[in-house]
Amino acid sequence: MKFILFILGLSLSFSLVDIEKHQKMVNFINKLRTTWKAKVYERDITNLVGTRHETEKMKLPEKKAFTNSNADLPTNYDLREAYPQCETLREIRDQSTCGACWAFSSAEVMSDRLCIHSGQKIQTRVSAAHLTTCCTSCGDGCFGGYPSSCFDYWKRYGIPSGGLYGDTTTCVPYFFPPCNDHMHECTDYQSTPECETKCQEGYPKSLEEDKTYGKSSYSVRGEENIKKEIYENGSVVGTLTVYEDFADYSSGIYQHVTGSYLGLHAIKIIGWGETEDGIKYWIIANSWNETWGEKGFFRLLRGVNECGIESSAETGMPKL
């Protein structure tokens, strides 16, 4: 039996994934031979969709002017290739069973931009754990939040470093262990830990000394403006509407086919491309472990506002 709680756009599940239901969905999707392939995962993702609808007051100012506004952008562009020394661009984090996608995607974009705008020298991992537990204005920890507020928080208060679970080289690493597809102990939903006011034992800096800061925070809207922003400044946080079939994504270019609405999910957009058949897509990093999708990444249909991805993207510039 499955118990689901819906709260402010966040869907939480307290049982193992319904294998039989998803197998029928996978069979249906693969029989259609659409732009993507599906498979059944044992990990339930419904408790990971934790982005909330923003009020008008919370929305970041929209950026409309771009340096290369009239330049022809490449057909294919991947930040991992453009900035090969930026380790965080190739890194897939794991939010475990905590609805903190809003904090993860934001921290990942901040980390990427610190590296990109320092000439690929700064390799700091901005702490998703700190955002999840300490930024009360950003949301409600594992129960969902707002990426836009994260960039304002970075600008106002700063954020310490924080890597993956068990990392000893950063100030506030993530607190929950990763959940690959076969780790059933990761099915129980996690409550939000307390905010840490100091770095982990053995780390050489104080939390305040370790912080990085943002210089600006803003949003971009529409396919072309999102492309321009990525090309000029780096990755952005995107928000997509998630349906049940997204949980079964294995490879290819995702577009919604079947299944019920689950909620909103924040991810990191790192580029775009186009197939030989002319199918356009976004290149996106998820935070559900490398065992999901294309080694943790996925591609999403571009140019038609699929799942609302082109409605708005949030980001900011680092203070160096």
Cα-to-chain-centroid distance, residue 163? 15
Active-site hit among 47, 225, 233, 286: 286
pLDDT tens digits for the chain (320 residues)? 333 332 233 333 334 567 888 899 999 999 999 999 999 987 777 677 868 777 666 789 999 888 876 678 999 999 999 999 999 999 999 999 899 999 999 999 999 999 999 999 999 999 999 999 999 999 999 999 999 999 999 999 999 999 999 999 999 999 998 886 554 456 566 789 999 999 999 999 999 999 999 999 999 999 999 999 999 999 999 999 999 999 999 999 999 999 999 999 999 999 999 999 999 999 999 999 999 999 999 999 999 999 999 999 999 999 99
Q: What is the DSSP letter of 54?
A: P
Give the pLDDT of residue 110: 98
Give the pLDDT of residue 12: 33
Residue 37 in tokens: 């392939």
Give the pLDDT of residue 188: 64
Indicate the pTM of the whole model: 0.92
Domain count within the chain: 1
Q: Is residue 101 annotated as a catalytic residue, yes or no?
A: yes
User: Between the CA of residue 222 and those of 90, 162, 239, 306, 308, what are the distances in Å?
Assistant: 25, 32, 13, 12, 10
Give the pLDDT of residue 22: 87
Q: What is the CATH number of the domain that holds 47?
A: 3.90.70.10
Q: What is the DSSP letter of 68?
A: T
Residue 78 in tokens: 């991947």
User: Between the CA of residue 170 and those of 89, 126, 166, 208, what are the distances in Å?
Assistant: 18, 9, 10, 13
Active-site hit among 86, 150, 265, 289: 265
CA-wise closest residue to 259 among 53, 45, 73, 86:
45
Q: Is residue 179 annotated as a catalytic residue, yes or no?
A: no
Give the pLDDT of residue 93: 96
Active-site hit among 22, 86, 98, 101: 101
Provide the residue range defining the domain that includes 209.
Answer: 4-319
Give the pLDDT of residue 7: 29
